Structure 1
Amino acid sequence: MTIRPLVTRIGRTRAFTTLAPHLLPRVDRAAHRLTGGRWLPSRALLPTVMLVTTGHRSGLARTTALCAHRFADGSWLVAATNFGRPHHPAWSTNLLHAPHAVVVTNRERHPVTAELLPVNRLPEYRQQLLCILPVFDDYAARTARDIRVFYLTPLGLGAGPSGG
């Protein structure tokens, strides 16, 4: 894919990691809503889905655009890099408190159960992480926290990567 080097170069800049967390989610949500789920601007650059979680304090549905890898069995992998910022993104905290969520892609809704992958399991998913986010290592190096990575299993599919 010829766009990947450009995404990698831009995604590493301070300007991008400063502005993108404030602009990209709003643009993606607005475009997704206005087009009835037909268009997601971020998808032009990286594999992106909308994830609907339940706010752990409010109990309200919270929707965010995320880079995601889809496995052949219909499960997904998402990483809570938060652009390398020091705190975990809210959607990842929501999944820890309420692991049932919905992945929306191409106007289809897929109910899922989220499983936080332990840090020692991340090397198994390195290839997929770099496919969905070529700057994963840059963001991981930029923050002192462990980046949360979730395996999202569609309801009815069975156990996730831990087998339980």
Structure 2
Amino acid sequence: MPPGIKLMQKVSSSRLFMKVGPHFVPAMDRAVHKLTRGKVMLSAQMLPGVILTVKGAKSGIPRRTPLACMPEEERGTWVLIGSNFGRPGHPVWTVNLLKNPDAEISWKGTDIAVTARLLEGEERAETWERCLKFWPPYATYQARIDREIRLFRLERRTP
């Protein structure tokens, strides 16, 4: 585990981070991602990340959101975790994916067409356990809220 990760896990589990993180982290990721032409995301120094582009559920306008992800290299897929930093409501991007599952991600500077699938039942439970091993603070986020954190698997879409 890279140095400082344990500290970042502790910080990201704090209530202060829950309040500040949702505003600060995405703004910094967007700026750095743009400046580096899609090659770098600051938060990816802790967790792998993508920039998700999906049509808005109501507006139909493409929305770009920097997100942490859990790559599944053995499958060639990515899992997105709708933790919303442990805040009560589902993040808007999850609503957008439910309505418009065909999306695009920028992964390490490469744009990839994907289709998102909400994980449910046994598949969700198995994936959630792997998410907790991947980034233990997700357990703290889930403990703070009544809703079940949504998990989406992103699979490459063939043109």
CA deviation vs aligned residue, 1:3-46 (integer Å, no higher than 9, x gap): 33112110111111110001111110111112211211001111
Aligned counterparts of 1:18 and 1:52: Cα–Cα separation in 2: 24
**Identity within the alignment, %:** 36
Equivalent pair of 1:67/1:132 in contact (CA under 8 Å): no
Structure 1 gap ranges (5+): 157-164
One-letter identity of the residue aligned with 1:67? A
One-letter identity of the residue aligned with 1:30? A
Equivalent pair of 2:40/2:109 in contact (CA under 8 Å): no
RMSD of aligned alpha carbons: 1.7
Displacement of 1:119 after TM fit?
Answer: 4.7
Equivalent pair of 1:81/1:136 in contact (CA under 8 Å): yes
Aligned to 1:133: 135
Q: Return closer, same or farther for 1:92/1:132 CA change in 2, 3 Å cut-off.
A: farther
Aligned counterparts of 2:117 and 2:93: Cα–Cα separation in 1: 13
Displacement of 1:126 after TM fit?
Answer: 3.3
One-letter identity of the residue aligned with 1:70? P
Q: 1:80 aligns with which of 56, 79, 82?
A: 82
Aligned counterparts of 2:63 and 2:121: Cα–Cα separation in 1: 26
1:9 aligns with 2:4: no
- Across the two proteins, how many residue pairs are aligned to each other? 157
Structure 2 gap ranges (5+): none
Equivalent pair of 2:50/2:106 in contact (CA under 8 Å): yes
Please give the secondary structure, in 1, of the residue aligned with 2:59. coil
Q: Which deviates further from its counterpart, 40-49 or 69-78?
A: 69-78
Aligned counterparts of 1:119 and 1:11: Cα–Cα separation in 2: 28
Equivalent pair of 2:50/2:66 in contact (CA under 8 Å): yes
CA deviation vs aligned residue, 1:32-64 (integer Å, no higher than 9, x gap): 112211211001111111111111111111111
Aligned to 2:40: 39
1:101-120 to 2 correspondence within 5 Å? 101-120=103-122
Aligned counterparts of 1:78 and 1:131: Cα–Cα separation in 2: 15
- What TM-score, normalized to structure 2? 0.91
CA deviation vs aligned residue, 1:137-164 (integer Å, no higher than 9, x gap): 10011111111100111113xxxxxxxx
Aligned to 2:52: 51
Aligned counterparts of 1:50 and 1:128: Cα–Cα separation in 2: 22
Displacement of 1:106 after TM fit?
Answer: 1.6
Structure 1 segments (4+ residues) deviating >2 Å: 119-123, 130-134
Please give the secondary structure, in 2, of the residue aligned with 1:78. strand
- What TM-score, normalized to structure 1? 0.89
